Amino acid sequence: MSTVLLATDGSELATQAMAKGVALLGHDHRFITLAVVPPVFVPTASVSPMDTHPTLADPELEEELEAEQRAAQDDEVHELDELLGITAEHLVETGEPGPTICDVAEAVGAEIVVIGSHGHGWLKRVLMGSVSTHVLHHAPCPVLVMRTGQPED
């Protein structure tokens, strides 16, 4: 029985990717579903429009928003079990998605990571980066990238 890390962003495309991955790998594994909540940054108002000081963050509001996002993601990873017909452990982490997925894969001893790819074109990958590309190049184990959607270029 292998440890399979299912990395999801909660989208319908990610759910489709996870379903394809589970269908390919089978149900006889230890599954861990992971949702990563990006850090929240809420700037406060400056003193004046000409203020050259860096914008300060509102830590209380950031904590509240992160807690709401974590709760929503936790609900979604629990629903994913039913949709995929599996029993899984659930993790919700806060951080940058690519590095966080790789860190969790190492921490849980994942033997494979299943992640979706939205099929964005090369220009979007260059400008925005790609979580699946980061995980593919930095994960401590094999990565199964399930392509969803159509390429945009």
In a domain, 98, yes or no: yes
Ramachandran category for residue 95: left, alpha or beta (phi over 0 → left; psi -120 to 50 → alpha): left
What domain count does the chain have?
1
Instruction: Give the pLDDT confidence score for residue 11 in this predicted structure.
Output: 82
- The amino acid occupying position 22 is V
Instruction: Give the pLDDT confidence score for residue 50 in this predicted structure.
Output: 55
CB-based contact 22:87 (threshold 8 Å): no
Full domain range(s) for residue 37: 3-42+56-147
Instruction: Give the pLDDT confidence score for residue 56 in this predicted structure.
Output: 55
In a domain, 49, yes or no: no
In a domain, 135, yes or no: yes
Token pair in block for residue 133: 């590309």
Instruction: Give the pLDDT confidence score for residue 34 in this predicted structure.
Output: 93
What's 129's domain CATH number? 3.40.50.620
In a domain, 124, yes or no: yes
In a domain, 142, yes or no: yes
In a domain, 96, yes or no: yes
Token pair in block for residue 129: 């980066």
- The amino acid occupying position 65 is L
What are the mean pLDDT values of the chain's consecutive 10-residue runs (153 residues total)?
91 88 94 87 54 61 80 81 90 91 97 83 53 92 82 46
In a domain, 51, yes or no: no
Token pair in block for residue 21: 């991955």
In a domain, 109, yes or no: yes
